[in-house]
Structure 1
Amino acid sequence: MGRITIILLAAIMLSCSSNHGNKITQDNFGIAPDGSPVFLYTMKNSNGMTVKLTNYGASLVSIVTPDKDGNFADVIAGFDSLSGYVNDNSFIGVTVGRYANRIGKGKFRIDDNEYQLTINDGNNHLHGGVKGFHKLVWDSDIVAGDTSSYVVMKLRSPDGYEGYPGNVDVEVKFSLNDNNDLVIEYTGSTDKPTILNLTNHAYYNLSGNFENTILDHILTINADNFTPIDSELIPTGEIAPVDNTPMDFRKPAAIGARINDDYTQLKYGKGYDHNWALNGYNGKVRKAVTVTDPESGRVLEIFTDQPGIQFYSGNFLNGTIVGKGGIKYNYRTALCLEPQFFPDSPNKDNFASPLLRPGELYRQKTVYHFGIMK
């Protein structure tokens, strides 16, 4: 067998999954500011569902799914070109780290050492800092497995980066199956005690039309409690019941039904921008959230092994971000659902700890299932 034939066979193996014909392809997406090549990966299953992602920020670029009438549309915000991701400051579609969400005053202690992180959100640290994982080019590849193929992205974060201790190695695997499940699996290790808390920051609108708001979307969150915040959006440390508050989504409710209630927490967040303490946290994957759009019939179910999830109702979108097809992302036209450790958990002893020590392995698995209302 000649060398050219071997190369062609290898290329075919990389682009075709053995999971019932699912395919993954790689295309050029541009050159990053540091000169690194950036790629666009396309995953497509036998149902026609398509997911695109890029190794710039390990970001989701598009998720195209059918509505109740079989019409396909893109249900996440994003950009047509690399420059959009380079210039974006709203974390659209990205993998955020080392620490998703906020850390009060950017400070925390491990053992006898205090660490000061970059301040990039008022007086606080947000989503890994000014140049967190979302602004880096990840090493990436297509991996052809025995039962499925996936895209793997890897990154080394050096000791002291954005103020975090330890050389940290992280890996994120993206896969799509014929059940219309987008599966994201994260792992991480360190050579010095540190904190690690990764998530994806996609902005969803299940109508597929980002001129619509998400206020008519119906939301269910499997959580009896949430973590109240102060005026700087930092948790107070309380884990409070959702009973008799606008934070109660244990039964399906329209996002817009109570979003403007005279309630201090909603005033602090200018809407929903809070962490819910998910029920049944034991390190195993369980159902966390269901979102439906009654008009299109699309449904998103999220299953995760994380203790919390941040629900953000697009309160700071103001039309200044121009996305795919020239669409302007306006007020509350998209929502985020971010599985995570609780915000500021390094400073709250009663929150599940994000501490990672040498010899330990950080793991997270989240499944995003896209379906149709029955």
Structure 2
Amino acid sequence: MKHLSILLAASVFLFSCNNSTEKTATKNETKMSITEKPFGTFNNETVTEYTLTNASGMQVSILNYGGTVTKIITKDKEGKDGDVILGYDSLAGYIQKGNPYFGCLIGRYGNRIAKGKFTLDGATYTLAQNNNGQSLHGGLKGYGKVMWKAEKQTGDSSLKLTYLSKDGEEGYPGNLSIEVIYTLTADNSLNIDYAATTDKATPINLTNHCYFNLSAGKDSTILNHDLMLKADKFTEVDAVLIPTGKLPDVKGTPMDFTAAKKIGRDIDSVKGGYDHNWVLNKTGNALESIATLYHAGSGRFMEVFTTEPGVQFYSGNFLDGTLTNTKNNQQYALHAGLCLETQHFPDGPNQPSFPNTILKPGEKYSHTSLYKFSVR
């Protein structure tokens, strides 16, 4: 009888533990969700905002217009939620003239291509010169201004976006089939997985253009944020921000972020502010931690990982407070937010010494970047 009592007690204990685990898993599973709501119409198509939520309560919202990230809501050191990216309260903001790519997907070629021209397989291609005589972020209608097909993923807090960029779109060759998957993970990371195939050789350089301000609007600029970049070199640029081909060492210059420092410390020594590509200290295409961003007031800390060879740090130099329909009517003035655009190098198609940016038929373009949030 004594042995039977012990066995019964153990059985009850095990059942209780298993039952408790199941309840906890079910409870957490209900918190991991994807919801959707209408966000207006564009070219007679319904724009939808999808919100990914994890078990910790972090939220990321994304539009099928432009693949645009509209919100990233994370907790500060006191446990209070805040939206850490710049954006708008309606579709009118995102489609307004002069919207500086807030939160959107960038392509076919992120960053600049000199004079809007490149030669590939003996043919010269001409692109829109939409930025000081250069082609920027895919041209007049890059991927941030088109409708993507959205599909909620089962069993995960993920959203898959697909888009077919047709041969000749914005001057680029080849039908490019693109897939981007946004995933909000249990450890408060926003993962972005990019993939593409083509039926004709074409340049490709996809990225995301979120503007971060980890104070969640409490600080009007990002100058007091501490930034670290794992990069000993950067791509030197000319007056119109086209690479010269030189890769100067950052040591002892205002471009040195190898140790975390306040963005505002040296920014006045950089004409126009920071808008440069840093050459990451990487030897391959593995996913690695390449940057950190910290805001002492809120305690929010962001770590950036990527498989890409470069990152464009842009300090919001062209923000001037004139954008309308902003969140909570905030005035996004000079340096209100910053971008950390993981990428291949600017003007890659015209710079043979830079990492290859040409995708050929039969090959698959892929890269992963993630932004992980925590507090200190």
TM beyond 0.5: yes
Q: What displacement does 1:19 show?
A: 6.0
Residue 369 of structure 2 is aligned to residue 366 of structure 1: yes
Q: What displacement does 1:332 show?
A: 0.7
For residues 99-151 of structure 1, give each alpha carbon's deviation from its aligned partner in whole angstroms, at most 9, with x where no partner exists.
00000001111121111111100110000011111110101110103xx2310
Question: Which residue number corresponds to residue 25 of structure 1?
Answer: 35
The residue identity in structure 1 corresponding to 2:140 is V
1:19 and 1:189 map into 2 onto residues whose CA distance is 34
1:256 and 1:359 map into 2 onto residues whose CA distance is 46
Question: Which residue number corresponds to residue 185 of structure 1?
Answer: 193
Partners of 1:102 and 1:343 within 8 A in 2: yes
Question: Which residue number corresponds to residue 80 of structure 1?
Answer: 89
For residues 305-337 of structure 1, give each alpha carbon's deviation from its aligned partner in whole angstroms, at most 9, with x where no partner exists.
001000011111000113111111111111011
For residues 163-216 of structure 1, give each alpha carbon's deviation from its aligned partner in whole angstroms, at most 9, with x where no partner exists.
000011101100101100100001011000001110000000001116521101
Question: Which residue number corresponds to residue 171 of structure 1?
Answer: 179
Residue 322 of structure 2 is aligned to residue 314 of structure 1: no
Partners of 1:17 and 1:23 within 8 A in 2: no
Question: Which residue number corresponds to residue 274 of structure 1?
Answer: 276
Partners of 2:86 and 2:102 within 8 A in 1: yes
Q: What displacement does 1:21 show?
A: 3.9
CA distance 1:73–1:344, change in 2 (3 Å): same
What is the RMSD computed on CA atoms of the aligned residues?
1.4
Give the match's secondary structure for 1:83: helix
Q: TM-score, normalised by structure 1?
A: 0.91
Give the match's secondary structure for 1:240: coil
Give the match's secondary structure for 1:203: coil
1:17 and 1:115 map into 2 onto residues whose CA distance is 55
1:172 and 1:135 map into 2 onto residues whose CA distance is 15
1:23 and 1:57 map into 2 onto residues whose CA distance is 22
Question: Which residue number corresponds to residue 337 of structure 1?
Answer: 340
Give the match's secondary structure for 1:131: coil
Residue 241 of structure 2 is aligned to residue 241 of structure 1: no
The residue identity in structure 1 corresponding to 2:273 is G
Identify which of 110, 114, 121 aligns with 1:104: 114
Aligned pairs, number? 349
Question: Which residue number corresponds to residue 209 of structure 1?
Answer: 217
**Runs of 4 or more consecutive aligned structure 1 residues displaced over 3 Å after TM superposition:** 16-21
The residue identity in structure 1 corresponding to 2:247 is I
CA distance 1:47–1:73, change in 2 (3 Å): same
Question: Which residue number corresponds to residue 54 of structure 2?
Answer: 45
Q: What displacement does 1:346 show?
A: 0.8
Partners of 1:65 and 1:75 within 8 A in 2: yes
For residues 29-75 of structure 1, give each alpha carbon's deviation from its aligned partner in whole angstroms, at most 9, with x where no partner exists.
1110x111111000111111111110100000000101111111100
Unaligned runs of 5+ in 2: 1-25
1:256 and 1:181 map into 2 onto residues whose CA distance is 27
2:157 and 2:275 map into 1 onto residues whose CA distance is 35
Residue 291 of structure 2 is aligned to residue 289 of structure 1: yes
Matches within 5 A, 1:82-231: 82-87=91-96, 88-145=98-155, 148-209=156-217, 211-231=219-239
Question: Which residue number corresponds to residue 3 of structure 1?
Answer: none
Give the match's secondary structure for 2:94: helix
Larger Rg computed on CA atoms = 2
Partners of 1:17 and 1:144 within 8 A in 2: no
1:222 and 1:20 map into 2 onto residues whose CA distance is 38
Unaligned runs of 5+ in 1: 1-15
2:167 and 2:100 map into 1 onto residues whose CA distance is 26
